[in-house]
Amino acid sequence: MTELIQWLFNNWLLIVIPVLTFLTAYIVGIWLRRKSFDAFNRWSLKSKWFGTQLVIETFRNPFLHWFILLGLYLAVYVSVLDPEYKLIAGRIVSTLFLISIMLAIITLCEKLIKFYLTKRELFRAQIPLMVNIVRVTVIIVGLLIILDIWGMPTTPLILLLAAALLVAVFALRDTLPNLFYGANIAWSEQIKKGDFIETETGESGYITALNWRNTEIKTLEGSLTIIPNTVLARTRVINYGHPLKKASSPFHFYTRLTSKQLTGLKANNLQELAELLKGASESIIYYHTHNFLEEHNYLTPEPANDFALWVSDSLGHEILGERLASIDAFDYPSLDALKMRLIGVITDYMAHNPDDRRAPSGEAFHFIRSKIVILPTSYIAHDLREFIEVMKKITIDSIFYHIFEARLRLKKGSNDFSAWIEDCLGDKDLANKIAHLDPYTYTLEGLRSNIIEIVEKHTL
């Protein structure tokens, strides 16, 4: 033990230098990772590339591992180990470094393939095949490099791979052109599933399926025609698009004007608030649960209702305020149901927390009603394509009327858009998608964008 201590004392510099070298590489790795990822984020914001998060998630940890391996490599290089041991250690570290890079590349490629190709029906079924091709390719290339690092011959393996590739190309000589043209058709998006096409050879019908080898079309008579992708790519095709169904009745867009009216009713404590709520009209409930949405339509997520704010801020009942704020108006098909829920929450709280505290002077809750005037607009939609175009032009007041007014004040239980799509177009699936949107979690402009996006995806 004494000899070891004496040796460490005499040779401490031989140990400190490799350790400092390793720590320096580790610190530089942490600093460089932060700087490079920040720069990458700035670039991605400018380029608007959607794969940024995938890249960061994939390389965040491996990036630091690479600098740890670099630190080990440099530490071995500056150490006093025999050259033979340095060579072996360097090869081991290089191999680990290469394996880490291979795993990161494979992981990133898998994520990118799934991210981009899941959206394309033609490629969706081939995702596992493409992922396996990437894996095999990266592993083979990495294996060749590792063999070279260890000084082993790679020529026989390269010749074997070349022979296997030639055999595969020969065996797939009839399939590969269809695969190539199928990929070209999918990426160009000139024709898509649901389009009505007509070829110069006389085939016509709706495209029912696009796959790697051929395209299937269903004629108006109901028969199925299968066209190889090589033939389709070399044939003149007329694409009539996706004919849209005309509604049995057109959709007339309306807008609204609203004004506030004081009722003269006011509450100074919880008891008075609950009693006045019982006799409050629907226009009062509507105003105090929706005026914030109208006046601050650019805010999201949903704001608290006026009752919750007053109970919390003026009376100091923060727990009750949170309970009232958590009431989701979307869960109630009518204003009367929403009112009964508000009363129930307040009375239940008072039963367990008797308190007659009153609001400070000048902070009583004043009941206000909204008076609404409905006005017709010049916009009319006969099909979904016209509906999308009008949705891009109408004001947010019109959107508010057809979403919130229709659902609560008119007691329809849904919005006007869903009702029209289901009743006049017979498209219950699309109607349900729009009806299931929670309008209280969007800004009005966000609501407009989401409805347009849903309809566009459905009609394409």
H, E, C per residue of 356-424: CCCCCCCCCEEEEEEEEEEEEEEEEECCHHHHHHHHCCCCHHHHHHHHHHHHHHCCCCCCHHHHHHHHH
At position 403, the amino acid (one-letter code) is I
Share of the chain above pLDDT 90, in %: 5
Ramachandran bin of 318, using left for φ above 0, alpha for ψ from -120 to 50, beta for the remaining angles: alpha
Task: Report the predicted TM-score, pTM, of the whole model to 2 decimal places.
Answer: 0.42
Burial code of 190-229, b = ≥16 C-beta within 10 A, e = fewer? Answer: ebbeebbbebeeebbbbbeebbbebbbbeeeeeeeeebbb
Report pLDDT digits (tens) over 178-228.
555 555 565 556 677 777 777 777 777 777 777 666 777 776 456 787 777
pLDDT band at 151 (very low <50, low <70, confident <90, very high): confident
- C-alpha 381/C-alpha 316 separation (Å) is 50
Task: Give the pLDDT mean for 233-242.
Answer: 70
Residue 154's pLDDT is 63
Report pLDDT digits (tens) over 256-311.
887 888 888 989 999 888 888 888 888 888 888 877 666 655 545 455 688 888 88
Which two three-digit tokens encode residue 444? 């009005």
Q: Which residues pair with 215 in a beta bridge?
A: 210, 227
- C-alpha 332/C-alpha 330 separation (Å) is 6
Report pLDDT digits (tens) over 361-388.
888 999 998 888 889 988 888 888 778 8
382 touches 246 (CB < 8 A):
yes
- How many other CB atoms sit within 10 Å of the CB of residue 387? 25
Which two three-digit tokens encode residue 109? 């490629």
Q: What is the mean pLDDT of the chain?
A: 76
More confident residue, 188 or 126: 126
Task: Give the pLDDT mean for 9-25.
Answer: 67
| Ordered alpha helix ranges (H), 208-353 | 229-233, 270-278, 282-295, 306-313, 318-325, 335-352
Residue 155's pLDDT is 66
pLDDT band at 412 (very low <50, low <70, confident <90, very high): low
Least confident span in 38-42, 100-104, 138-142: 38-42
The answer for residues whose C-beta is within 8 angstroms of residue 167's C-beta and 6 or more apart is none
- C-alpha 342/C-alpha 335 separation (Å) is 10
Residue 451's pLDDT is 92
| Cα-Cα-Cα-Cα dihedral sign, residues 184, 190, 195, 197 | negative
Q: Please report the domains of the chain, with CATH numbers, ordered by start residue.
A: 2-168 (no CATH), 187-239 (2.30.30.60), 251-459 (no CATH)
More confident residue, 246 or 167: 246
More confident residue, 252 or 389: 252
The answer for residues whose C-beta is within 8 angstroms of residue 72's C-beta and 6 or more apart is 22, 89, 93
